[in-house]
Homo-oligomer: A and B are copies of this chain.
Amino acid sequence: MKFIHTADWHLGKLVHGVYMTENQRAALEQFVSIVEEEKPDAVVIAGDLYDRSVPPTDAVELLDEILFKINVELKTPVVAIAGNHDSAERLSFGSSWYKHSQFYLTGKLTNNFKPVQINGVNFYLVPYAEPGVVRQLVEDDSIHSHQEAMKAMIGKIEENLNPNEPNVLVGHAFVLGGQTSDSERILSVGGSGCVGAELFAPFSYTALGHLHSPDAINHEKVKYSGSLLKYSFSEAKQRKSISIIEMDEKGNFSHRYRSLTPKHDMREIEGHIEELLDPNFYGNEQVDDYLKITLLDEGALLDPINKLRQVYPNVLHLEKKINLTDSKRKQSYIALKSEKKSEIDLFEQFYTDMTTSDFTTEKRDVMTEIIQKVLREEGVR
């Protein structure tokens, strides 16, 4: 039995003010091609299909279209749960009808812990839920943390679980603890938001969503697929992929990744503006990637964002690195704090910080005159 594990599509996501929909469409079209090629027995989506409870309408249309292609056109069973970004109730609408064509969608957690069976594998669907919701559902007042909630739900599942069959849990949670780590320690560090990986021991495979890197934990049987795309610059160095699992009737499985190539990658580059605008440099670059650019120039720059956008149309974030270890500057910053300075001294400091030139006596004289004129006109002195 072969299934694909994916999660965290975050349709409708806005990154630095830019909708990712076009990029998401391109990635999902690749995904559909992989489904066509791999012909899995199921596609598992472990939560956060949308980025928010009320996604924009084009995200709604995109999800509808992609799931239709996979489930109806390619006749692939789909198993999906709501993540913390989805609205469980809104996502659930219509799910009773989807079962016809083996599209199993669990938005809202219920106390039906029966599995969905596909080709001999039992899929247990555990959508994201707050501990308070689980507390009410299983009627156990001692539940206050995600760890306790997950433990209780897995307890319910175990009541009817046949350990001799291949069992897969599909969940959306912040799971910590590789196979070599001490989960006790991790839980005491991680706090109530985390769930220890050891809870998933009853399952042949645990298909997780929530953390965006497929390398978020290093566990033999408990795995994140990672998100569809990079959704922040902190993910710039993460690989993005989907997982292909082939499982035998005893629950033993092989696991491999297939990477997704984004239409626009999300990257960070760093340099002096002159260098970045030099065709010898950007000639080798994917200039339309989503970029965070860090400028190393020390002086003031005239409208750097627009200059950069002429070469790199998708600059999402621009920042300047100011080296504060330079002793002169360090001193001047400290000085700024401790004394009340005259206008001319403040200007000198500003000029020195913003340019690489010296603030000569001539410059000082010109500026002094201007300042005095302004102050006179304003009637300050």
* Chain B nearest Cβ from A57, distance in angstroms: 4
Contact residues of A between 85 and 140, Cβ < 8 Å to B: 87, 89-90, 92-94, 96-98, 100-101, 103
* Chain B nearest Cβ from A173, distance in angstroms: 22
A60 at the interface (CB under 8 A from B): yes
* Chain B nearest Cβ from A40, distance in angstroms: 20
A54 at the interface (CB under 8 A from B): yes
Dominant SS among interface residues on chain A: helix
* Chain B nearest Cβ from A63, distance in angstroms: 7
A63 and chain B: residue at smallest CB distance? B93
Instruction: Tell me whether A89 and B68 are in contact (CB under 8 A).
Output: no
* Total copies of the chain: 2
Report the Cα distance A64→B105, complex, angstroms.
14
A58 and chain B: residue at smallest CB distance? B89
* Chain B nearest Cβ from A99, distance in angstroms: 9
Instruction: Tell me whether A94 and B98 are in contact (CB under 8 A).
Output: yes
Q: Which residues of B contact A187 (CB under 8 A)?
A: none
Contact with B along A35-63 (1 / 0, CB 8 A): 00000000000000000001001101101
Report the Cα distance A263→B68, complex, angstroms.
40
Report the Cα distance A1→B224, complex, angstroms.
54
- Going nearest first, the 6 A-B pairs with the smallest beta carbon separation are A94-B94, A57-B89, A100-B100, A97-B97, A64-B93, A68-B96
Q: Could you show 26 A-B contacts with beta carbons less than 8 Å apart?
A: A54-B54, A57-B87, A57-B89, A57-B90, A58-B89, A60-B89, A60-B90, A60-B93, A61-B92, A63-B93, A64-B92, A64-B94, A64-B96, A68-B97, A71-B97, A72-B96, A72-B97, A93-B93, A93-B94, A94-B97, A94-B98, A97-B97, A97-B98, A97-B101, A97-B103, A100-B101
